[in-house]
């Protein structure tokens, strides 16, 4: 059987689809992945039509985050106008809102897709699409008759799943009205890949121990449960050994919600094998209260060079009462001090544009962040009210947002407010200047606004890139060859962010295409 998997996201980081593809391929099916970033055209491009015609898939899978709902709806319509091929939707939005997705797709995968998609392929092979499949975790739309199936049990033994490849030979991309094989055009792949393709993005666990009110993980609990599932150290290392054969891979980027959920014994074995067999710098994410000094320094010695830590707010009330994130700021400060000792490059994530946050709490957040030990970089994200999350349900009930607000805006497209702009430069600006500028609106005068209007572009265009370069050099122990390779590999990705309002270029372009589509294809946005 032939399976075509389509990604509509803004970059070529498609780990979920790679896992589904790898498992289907291992079961003997012919698979292709097509990267089709935010396709919102009124007609199916001839190159896409020819690609599908030539491959003749038996099943087309479309993976979507919530922001990609309308592109998925549009593409499904275009495919069905040209081809008699069943379409299955999967991914985050399909799990959170299956009842919405099943109105437009033939099937919806309401959980992990590796086994569900293979079972569906086998059903289509043996019984054809006219017979509704009885597969747990796969809803069916049979000529308008919706058949809901119970949620499938998640895979508990992650080692059973085949590895995802860094750049599989069946990975294709749509570029300038043509379709290219990324494995045969790696330079083109790197244009669309995060960080210029220098990172292999991977996960060693599935699940998160927290239930933050704004996070999709809180909605996933009913599907996957609360247990954090993990791969064995050997399984993780074996994947990276294969990935390392591509000389362009400079770093391993672990996307786990918190890499530190692993036990001390797991981390110890990982560090021993990683130093012996891999030796590449790597990125990991951490929750402040789960940062363990012994594990941190073991990982730093093994190559941990970048650490991403979610802080979200400097206000304990906001974290506790709004975000259901039981982390007080002194714990954040303690974790930041530990990270600083390792000399790893620190990236701290904050949530802004929160209607439940008072002006005084925004000021409190800026003051708190300014006390963290430098150097570090702050990353801001717009508070998105994802469906199925407790915070979204509250905001809709309070008439703060419409139920579909999450469909129209990327996380990184933040409001250009005074406090957001000040928070964005806090990490790279002397504390006495931050304290001078960090005033309530009633106490600000023209000198505050004038100074911030000068500082913000200067810091974001010049000071922050230099700070990024410094912390990167320090995290790499000033190894000249790695620094040069990092700069050469990432300069296009970095430049795109600098010239595009600090958004990724693909994200900004998608926001623009979505706005244009609402004007030119209003019927697409009708319920």
CA separation for the pair 366, 372 (Å, rounded): 10
Look at residue 501 and tell me whether its pLDDT is greater than 70.
no
Q: Both tokens of residue 11?
A: 């970059």
pLDDT class of 79 with cuts at 50, 70, 90? very high
CA separation for the pair 63, 53 (Å, rounded): 20
Look at residue 499 and tell me whether its pLDDT is greater than 50.
no
> What does the pLDDT read at residue 220?
73
> What does the pLDDT read at residue 110?
95
The neighbour count for residue 259, using CB atoms within 10 Å, is: 25
The mean pLDDT value for 389-409 works out to 91
- Answering whether pTM is above 0.85, one says yes
- Give CA separation, 259 vs 158, 229, 230, 271, 425, in Å: 16, 12, 10, 13, 28
> What does the pLDDT read at residue 485?
75
Q: What angle do CA 14, 276, 469 make, to 5 degrees?
A: 60
H or E element, residue 88: strand 87-90
Contact 57, 1 (CB under 8 A): no
What percent of the chain lies above the pLDDT cut of 70? 94
Convert the pLDDT of each residue in 231-283 to its tens digit: 999 999 999 999 999 988 999 999 999 999 999 999 999 999 999 999 999 99
CA separation for the pair 433, 351 (Å, rounded): 22
Look at residue 498 and tell me whether its pLDDT is greater than 50.
no
pLDDT class of 222 with cuts at 50, 70, 90? low
The mean pLDDT value for 395-407 works out to 91
> What does the pLDDT read at residue 496?
43
> What does the pLDDT read at residue 219?
67
> What does the pLDDT read at residue 245?
94
pLDDT class of 406 with cuts at 50, 70, 90? confident
Task: Name which of 166-170, 424-428, 507-511 the model is least confident about.
Answer: 507-511
* Chain Cα centroid distance, residue 291: 22
The chain-wide mean pLDDT, for the chain, equals 91
CA separation for the pair 417, 430 (Å, rounded): 20
Convert the pLDDT of each residue in 348-375 to its tens digit: 999 999 999 999 999 999 999 999 999 9
Question: Helix (H, G, I), strand (E, B), or coil: what is residue 34?
Answer: strand
Residue-wise over 354-366: b if at least 16 C-beta within 10 A, else e? bebbeeebbbbbb
> What does the pLDDT read at residue 505?
52
Q: Which residues contact 260 (CB under 8 A, 6 or more apart)?
A: 284, 286, 287, 290, 291, 292, 295, 296
More confident residue, 420 or 485: 420
Convert the pLDDT of each residue in 22-78 to its tens digit: 999 999 999 999 999 989 999 999 999 999 999 999 999 999 998 899 999 999 999
The mean pLDDT value for 294-318 works out to 96
- DSSP-derived letter for residue 427 is G
H or E element, residue 83: none
Picking from 310, 422, 307, the residue whose alpha carbon sits closest to that of residue 364 is 422
Contact 208, 241 (CB under 8 A): no
Domains of the chain in sequence order: 2-158 (3.40.50.280), 186-511 (3.80.30.20)
CA separation for the pair 455, 235 (Å, rounded): 48
The torsion angles phi and psi of 17, rounded to 5 degrees, stand at -65, -35
Task: Name which of 51-65, 262-276, 378-392, 423-437 the model is least confident about.
Answer: 378-392
Convert the pLDDT of each residue in 459-473 to its tens digit: 998 999 889 889 989
Look at residue 217 and tell me whether its pLDDT is greater than 80.
no
């Amino acid at each position: 059987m032939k399976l075509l998997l389509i990604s509509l996201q803004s970059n070529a980081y498609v780990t979920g689809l790679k896992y589904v593809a790898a498992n289907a391929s291992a079961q003997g099916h012919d698979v292709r992945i097509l990267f089709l970033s935010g396709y919102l055209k009124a007609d199916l491009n001839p190159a896409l039509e020819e690609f599908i015609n030539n491959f003749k898939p038996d099943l087309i899978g479309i993976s979507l985050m919530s922001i990609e709902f309308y592109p998925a709806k549009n593409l499904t319509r275009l495919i069905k106008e040209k081809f008699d091929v069943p379409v299955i939707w999967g991914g985050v939005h399909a799990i959170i809102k299956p009842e919405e997705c099943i109105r437009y797709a033939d099937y919806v995968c309401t959980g992990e897709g590796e086994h569900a998609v293979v079972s569906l392929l086998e059903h289509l092979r043996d019984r054809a699409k006219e017979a509704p499949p009885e597969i747990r975790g796969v809803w069916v739309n049979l000529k308008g008759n919706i058949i809901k199936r119970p949620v499938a049990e998640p895979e508990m033994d992650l080692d059973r799943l085949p590895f995802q490849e860094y750049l599989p030979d069946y990975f294709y991309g749509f570029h300038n009205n043509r379709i290219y094989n990324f494995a045969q055009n790696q330079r083109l792949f790197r244009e669309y890949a995060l960080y210029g393709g220098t990172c292999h993005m991977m996960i060693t666990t599935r699940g998160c121990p927290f239930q933050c009110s704004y996070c999709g993980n809180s909605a996933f609990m009913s599907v996957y449960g609360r247990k954090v599932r993990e791969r064995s150290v050997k399984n993780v290392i074996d994947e990276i050994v294969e990935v390392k054969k591509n000389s362009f891979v400079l770093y391993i980027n672990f996307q786990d919600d918190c890499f530190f959920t692993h036990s001390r014994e797991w981390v110890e074995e990982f560090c021993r094998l990683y130093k012996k067999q891999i030796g590449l710098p790597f990125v990991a994410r951490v929750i402040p209260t789960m940062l363990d000094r012994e594990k941190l320094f073991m990982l730093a010695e093994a190559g941990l060079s970048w650490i991403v830590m979610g802080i979200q707010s400097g206000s304990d009330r906001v974290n506790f009462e709004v975000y259901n994130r039981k982390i007080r700021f002194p714990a954040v400060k303690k974790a930041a001090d530990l990270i600083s000792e390792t000399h790893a490059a620190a990236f701290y994530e904050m949530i802004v544009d929160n209607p439940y946050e008072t002006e005084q709490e925004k000021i409190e957040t800026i003051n708190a962040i300014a006390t963290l030990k430098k150097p570090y970089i702050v990353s801001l994200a717009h508070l998105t009210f994802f469906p199925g999350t407790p915070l979204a349900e509250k905001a809709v009930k309070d008439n703060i947002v419409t139920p579909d607000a999450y469909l129209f805006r990327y996380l990184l497209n933040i409001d250009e407010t005074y406090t957001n702009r000040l928070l964005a430069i806090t990490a790279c600006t002397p504390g006495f200047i931050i304290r001078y500028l960090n005033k309530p609106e009633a106490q600000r005068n023209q000198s505050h606004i004038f100074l911030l209007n000068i500082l913000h572009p200067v810091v974001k265009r010049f000071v922050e890139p230099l700070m990024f370069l410094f912390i990167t050099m320090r995290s790499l122990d000033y190894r000249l060859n790695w620094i040069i390779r990092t700069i050469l590999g990432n300069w296009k990705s970095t430049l795109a962010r600098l010239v595009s309002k600090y958004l990724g270029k693909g994200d900004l372009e998608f926001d623009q295409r979505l706005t244009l589509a609402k004007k030119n294809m209003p019927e697409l946005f009708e319920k």
